[in-house]
Chains A and B, each alone.
Chain A
Amino acid sequence: MSENMETLTDANFDEQVKSSDVPVLVDFWAEWCGPCKMISPVLEEIADEQAGKIRIGKLNIDDNLDVTRRYEVMSIPTLILFKDGEPQARLIGAKPKAQLLEEISAYL
């Protein structure tokens, strides 16, 4: 995994996301989800290319039900973009890189 990818958990979520200076894109995923695995390398590329402008964190929904429930995630992969600790955009389903970049570009 790219060193620019972070691991988020129920325990560190508020600290990592709420107090971040830059937007944080949270990837809600699970081991058993095929499309989640497919977008993983895409997210790593974005994390490397946009380092400093955005942080990307992976949150395993199996292990972190509190945050998953708090944001009412009902489908994975779901990507939620947080700015100043508040969710700004929600992207549901795997998407190609160009489309992901386009949808988050307004918040960078």
Chain B
Amino acid sequence: MPEHRKVVIVGSGPAGLTAALYTARAQLHPLVIEGEPSSTSDQPGGQLMLTTDVENYPGFVDGVMGPELMGMMRAQALRFEAELRTAKVSRLDLSPWPFEVWVGDPQADEPTVVADTLIIATGARSLMLGVPNEDRLLGYGVSTCATCDGFFFRGQHIAVAGGGDSAMEEAIFLARFGSKVSVIHRRDELRASKIMRERAFANPKIEFKWNSLVTDIIGDTKVSALRLRDTVTGEESDLDATGLFVAIGHEPNSSLLKGQIELEDNGYVRTFDGSTRTSVDGVFACGDVQDDYYRQAVTSAGSGCMAAIDAERWLEAKGE
């Protein structure tokens, strides 16, 4: 017989851990399936594990390191006896109730655990460029984690692809190490917030390659240059950068849900009436997997709290 839980939470970023905190305090003994180690944002703790200073999480006057903040959220959920399992969900079946959750072999006859309510907090992950040689040179000059790898590019020319807040954050961080940082952006203006834009513009080490796309990455054993195409003139040129950090945006981790729950056209989980309810009764979604607009640690945590309260009331109404 599979284990039976009132609440199973999938994911352990700010949304998942806040949902865990609230459902644990409500005596619902939540099980959090937190994910497995990886160097992408798809890992226990989520995207904040790949950041350094978080300056906009309320309560931390002088900022806090991303991994440290996630360590504190985890400890707080554990204090109220949420159970955290370092594993990855391999399959979900939302058609029967209780809902069925598999960890490990997705073809196993029986699910690992069944859940009266399911809180989906699987977050989003960084998009890659999808250009030739990107996979081959990942870890050899191509990186998705500026905080992990910036150190190795001391005194070198570093490129950052992207024009949003995370691209600016990476560029500013990398300017501490590199001789020069080139931000490669496909348009002629940034999507980043005003404060991040201004900080990047004010940094003497950061230059902008507007209307530019990376079309290839050059290098035998490590990156030696990038091929760029001007999106207006179509002209190609080489940039002599030895590092490339990719920050072009995110996609939701919603593949486990495909065909089982209503998704928006861009793959984000659809929630209803300003709540965390989804198209499947008893399944709630919070954090970046259902938010392509605010995408902040604090809004994720807030929606994690909402999901916990929605799940709790749903269980009450069901008489559980």
Partner-B contacts on A (CB < 8 A):
30, 32-39, 42, 61-62, 72-78, 92-97
Contacts and interface: CB of A to CB of B under 8 A. Distances in A.
Interface of B: 36-40, 43-45, 49-50, 52, 66-67, 88, 138-141, 143, 145, 147-149, 151-152, 221-222
18 contacts: A34-B50, A34-B66, A34-B147, A35-B43, A36-B148, A37-B67, A38-B37, A38-B45, A75-B39, A75-B143, A75-B152, A76-B148, A78-B139, A93-B40, A93-B139, A94-B37, A95-B38, A97-B37
B36 A35 contact: no
Specify the main secondary structure of chain B where it touches its partner: loop
Contacts of A97: 37
Given A75-B149, A76-B148, A35 B139 contact: no
B88 A32 contact: no
Contacts, number: 72
Contacts of B66: 34
A43 to B, nearest CB: 10
Specify the main secondary structure of chain A where it touches its partner: loop
Nearest to B153: A74
Contacts of B145: 35, 75
**Centre residue among B141, B147, B152 by max chain A CB count within 10 A:** B152
Contact of B38 (A62, A75, A76, A93): A93
A49 to B, nearest CB: 16
A75 B37 contact: no
B151 A30 contact: yes
